[in-house]
Amino acid sequence: MTDGAFTYDGGRVAPGERADIRYSVSETYLGDPVRVPVSIVNGDHDGPTVFLTAAIHGDELNGVEVVREVAHDWPHSNLHGTLVCLPVVNVPGFMAQQRYLPVYDRDLNRSFPGKAGSTSAKRMAHRLFQNFVEPCDLGVDLHTSTRGRTNMLHVRAEMDDDDDDVDRLARSFGSNVIIDSEGSSGTLRREATRAGVPTITVEMGEAHRFQRRLIDRALDGVASVLAEYGVYPSEPVNWPGWRTVIESEEKTWLRADAGGLVEMHADQGDLVREGERVCTITNPFKTESVAVEAPFTGLLVGALENPVVYPGNPLCHLVELDDGTRRAVERQRSGTMPVRPD
């Protein structure tokens, strides 16, 4: 920040201005630039600088539409601060419609904060991190599940008892479920947070498609974050009705113990009870079957979409609920939960 302007290597966006740029981060085999679209909207009023990113995995598309709509469809006349919007971070992966960087076969979301003079992935990450992440005050990184699985909308964040910054950000998004984890080394969320830019990951839906219901819910969550931090001071902060923060020992992946075809009996977002059958694995003749039961009462945060498995393949992601949260979930779904502040 300089005199309220947002500056990056090659440009400057003054208060009251916006810039839609294609920022060069690498080159192709032919020497043509690999350029990432970035929209920077600098408000007339002072306030925090917030980054929004999507498609770090190139086939995860729901977040692309969220970031585009914030940048281009929302009115910004009352914007207090600056929005730094990167709807497609992994441009090569997006063009190939695959998760990782093609050719390099590297996960861009294990390459942050990057390093000049290193691998192609780390060079790209370095350019993006240095210019559009480090100058910010907080960030929201939007993802979907990987191909063949789907996630209910939830937040992942490092809910450190000694650091209220990420806790405040995670809760302000207004999701029912927050999974407490520091994230893997090299992820944008973890490395930005360690660089002093509190960041959360939002997971929602599945790869290779736009899912309008989830996009709209994520837009509400972004609006809630921006209201919490005074970027849009007149907007309300969301209370989701109930909330649970899940620690590592309160979640598990249920995995297949047999190969075959899977019939799911519950979907992502469903409440399942201990001992309830979640899915059944059968052979092609349906002469043998293996039942998969819930080891505890909880929510299916993620579930299989591709119905074929080997032994060891993940079937669903289950998070445990205590009795109070379970009752709150049931009241909300029956329409009897009172509205109350967070």
For 2, other C-beta atoms within 10 Å of its C-beta total: 8
Residue type for 182, please?
Answer: E
For 80, other C-beta atoms within 10 Å of its C-beta total: 17
Q: What is the DSSP letter of 2?
A: B
Provide the pairing of β-strand 45-54 with 138-143.
Answer: parallel
CA–CA gap between residue 304 and residue 149 (Å, rounded): 4
Q: How confident is the model at residue 341 (pLDDT cuts 50, 70, 90)?
A: very low
Average pLDDT over residues 145-154: 94
Parts of the chain belonging to CATH 2.40.50.100 = 249-334
Output the pLDDT for position 160. Answer: 79
Which of the listed CATH numbers 3.40.630.10, 3.40.1190.20, 2.60.120.10, 3.30.70.890 matches domain 6-240?
Answer: 3.40.630.10
Output the pLDDT for position 161. Answer: 62
Q: What is the DSSP letter of 133?
A: I
Q: Which CATH class is domain 249-334?
A: mainly beta
Would the pTM count as exceeding 0.85? yes
E-only strand ranges, the chain: 6-8, 11-13, 18-27, 33-42, 45-54, 80-86, 138-143, 149-157, 177-180, 199-205, 244-246, 251-255, 260-264, 271-272, 277-282, 289-293, 298-304, 308-309, 314-320
Residue type for 74, please?
Answer: W
CA–CA gap between residue 19 and residue 1 (Å, rounded): 15
Output the pLDDT for position 334. Answer: 82
User: Which residue has 């937040």 as its token pair?
Assistant: 155
Q: From residue 81, give the alpha-carbon distance in Å to each of 230, 248, 265.
A: 8, 35, 47
248 or 165, which is more confident? 165
Taking the alpha carbons at both ends of the chain, their separation in whole angstroms is: 33
Parts of the chain belonging to CATH 3.40.630.10 = 6-240
Q: Tell me the per-residue pLDDT of 77-107, one tens digit each, with 9 for 90 and over.
A: 999 999 999 999 999 999 999 999 997 779 9
CB 300 within 8 A of CB 270: yes
Q: For 186, what's the count of Cα atoms within 13 Å in the CB-facing half-sphere?
A: 14
What is the SS3 string spanning 272-334?
A: ECCCCEEEEEECCCCCCEEEEECCCCEEEEEEECCCEECCCCEEEEEEECCHHHHHHHHHHHH
CB 226 within 8 A of CB 45: no
Closest CA to 267 of 309, 308, 317, 312: 317
Pick from 219-233, 245-259, 321-335: least confident: 321-335
